[in-house]
């Protein structure tokens, strides 16, 4: 039984790169074990692999998400990145598709879970048994734990690689109804599935939902203007979808106060509310409430804009 050398070196590299604390891998014995066993030995399988603590901000555009990101980045060990042009929607898509492949035609011939600990030669033997008899366009032994591992690695290498003690994350304005989440029932479904996916990316995940105080067209005129020049929805559709996004954010936060928090633009710039917001935000994150953070440090926004 052999293991692909480049995979091995990638794992060893990742070990060095990401996890100083992973138990030593003895290379000679590692060569004799299957990938899954190797992953297990390296501590790479299971819910504990990857970035420890992450914060994801989902926002509607023009709602102060950059100032919120800046406030979070004033916490010394926080490194929250800006938008990624919805790149994680593709990662989520890849994750789903790879998981679905195992239900594709021909795959029932293999009983892949039984091959979980096999190396390449056993996998090839299984392939050889069927390939001369059956066409196998969906041949793939990749099971859920490896898909999750790859997904977490992707996140960790990009966002979480500064290691223990650093809280990583991003903010994104594209995960809302009417854009990547789709419309109506599809949006509700995608919102819940995608938040579940994000929560699986790290050991502990906190979600922050940032919008204007209400979804009215009046309060969101700038966003509507942006939408008009790019997506081009009618005022009614834009409004309906914003109402739905707010409702999803509100409901989720109400049902999951342990890991979800709501931030309104209004409170960030109102001197009667912004200190309380800062305290509540720090408390929600499990950070000391005396860490000085301010929402108005950045240039560009004035109250009421
Ligand atoms: C988009 O903006 C243009 C120019 O301001 C306006 O004529 C048009 O009616 C707007 N579209 C919608 C859907 O409101
Ligand atoms: C709250 O707003 C006031 C007035 O703009 C500002 O001076 C203060 O720094 C803000 N506080 C926070 C926590 O952002």
Residue 30 has pLDDT above 50, yes or no: no
| Pocket lined around ligand 2, Cβ cut-off 6 Å | 271, 274-275, 278, 294-296
Residue 162 has pLDDT above 60, yes or no: yes
**pTM summary value:** 0.84
Q: Ligand 2 pocket test: pick from 68, 271, 289, 303 the residue with the most ligand atoms within 8 Å of its Cβ.
A: 271
Establish how many alpha carbons lie within 13 A of residue 189's alpha carbon, considering only the half-sphere containing its beta carbon: 5
Query: What atom of ligand 2 comes closest to residue 275's alpha carbon?
Result: 13
Predicted confidence band of residue 19 (pLDDT cuts 50, 70, 90): very low
Q: Tell me what the mean pLDDT of segment 287-304 comes to.
A: 84
β-partners of residue 57 are: 171, 208
The angle, 0 to 180 degrees and rounded to 10, between the axes of the packed helices 87-101 and 144-155 is 170
Residue 33 has pLDDT above 50, yes or no: no
CA distance 11 to 15: 6
* Mean of the per-residue pLDDT values of the chain: 86
CA of 233 to the centre of ligand 1 (A): 9
Residue 20 has pLDDT above 60, yes or no: no
CA of 162 to the centre of ligand 1 (A): 45
Residue 198 has pLDDT above 60, yes or no: yes
Query: What atom of ligand 1 comes closest to residue 238's alpha carbon?
Result: 13
Residue 247 has pLDDT above 90, yes or no: yes
Query: What atom of ligand 2 comes closest to residue 270's alpha carbon?
Result: 2
CA of 175 to the centre of ligand 2 (A): 28
Predicted confidence band of residue 148 (pLDDT cuts 50, 70, 90): confident
Query: What atom of ligand 1 comes closest to residue 232's alpha carbon?
Result: 13
95 or 116, which is more confident?
A: 95
CATH topology of domain 46-102+142-298: Rossmann fold (3.40.50)
The residue among 238, 209, 211, 190 whose CA lies nearest residue 88 is 190
Q: Which pLDDT value is given to residue 32?
A: 41
Domain limits, the chain = 1-45, 46-102+142-298, 105-141
Q: Which pLDDT value is given to residue 163?
A: 79
Q: What is the pLDDT of residues 116-147, one digit of tens each?
A: 888 899 999 999 999 999 999 999 999 888 88
Predicted confidence band of residue 50 (pLDDT cuts 50, 70, 90): confident
Q: Which pLDDT value is given to residue 38?
A: 57
Q: Which pLDDT value is given to residue 43?
A: 60
Q: What is the pLDDT of residues 78-94, one digit of tens each?
A: 999 999 999 999 999 99
What Å distances lie between residue 185 and 88, 172, 190, 254, CA to CA?
A: 21, 21, 9, 20
Predicted confidence band of residue 166 (pLDDT cuts 50, 70, 90): very high
Q: Is any atom of ligand 1 closer than 6 Å to the C-beta of 234?
A: yes
Percent of the chain with pLDDT over 70: 82
Q: Tell me what the mean pLDDT of segment 215-234 comes to.
A: 92
Dihedral-angle region of residue 232 (phi above 0 means left; psi in -120 to 50 means alpha; beta otherwise): left
Q: Which ligand ends up closest to the CA of 225?
A: 1
Strand order in the sheet with 260-264: 78-81, 167-172, 53-59, 204-211, 260-264
Residue 7 has pLDDT above 90, yes or no: no
Which range, of 11-15, 152-156, 197-201, 240-244, averages the lowest pLDDT?
11-15
């Amino acid at each position: 039984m052999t293991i692909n050398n480049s995979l091995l070196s990638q794992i060893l590299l990742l070990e060095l790169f990401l996890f100083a604390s992973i138990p030593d891998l003895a290379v000679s014995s590692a060569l004799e074990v299957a990938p899954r066993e190797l992953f297990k030995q390296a501590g790479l399988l299971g819910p504990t692999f990857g970035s420890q603590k992450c914060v994801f901000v989902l926002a509607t555009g023009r709602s102060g998400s950059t100032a919120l990101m800046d406030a979070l980045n004033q916490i010394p060990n926080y490194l929250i990145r800006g938008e990624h042009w919805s790149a994680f929607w593709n990662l989520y898509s890849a994750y789903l598709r790879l998981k679905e492949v195992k239900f594709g035609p021909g795959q029932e011939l293999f009983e892949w879970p039984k091959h979980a600990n096999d190396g390449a030669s056993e996998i090839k033997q299984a392939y050889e048994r069927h390939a001369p008899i059956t066409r196998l366009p969906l041949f793939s032994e990749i099971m859920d734990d490896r898909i999750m591992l790859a997904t977490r690695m992707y996140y960790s290498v990009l966002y979480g690689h500064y290691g223990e003690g650093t809280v990583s994350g991003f903010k994104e304005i594209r995960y809302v109804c009417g854009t990547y989440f789709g419309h109506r029932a599809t949006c509700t479904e995608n919102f819940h599935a995608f938040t579940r996916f994000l929560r699986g990316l790290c050991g502990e995940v906190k979600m922050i939902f940032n919008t204007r105080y209400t979804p009215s067209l009046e309060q969101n005129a700038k966003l509507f203007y942006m939408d008009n020049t790019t997506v081009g929805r009618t005022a009614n559709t834009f409004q309906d979808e914003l109402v739905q996004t707010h409702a999803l954010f509100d409901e989720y936060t109400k049902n999951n106060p342990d890991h979800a928090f709501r931030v309104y633009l209004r409170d960030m710039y109102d001197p009667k509310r912004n200190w309380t917001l800062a305290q509540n935000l720090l408390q929600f994150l499990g950070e000391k409430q005396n860490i000085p953070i301010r929402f108005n440090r950045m240039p560009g926004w004035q109250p009421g804009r």
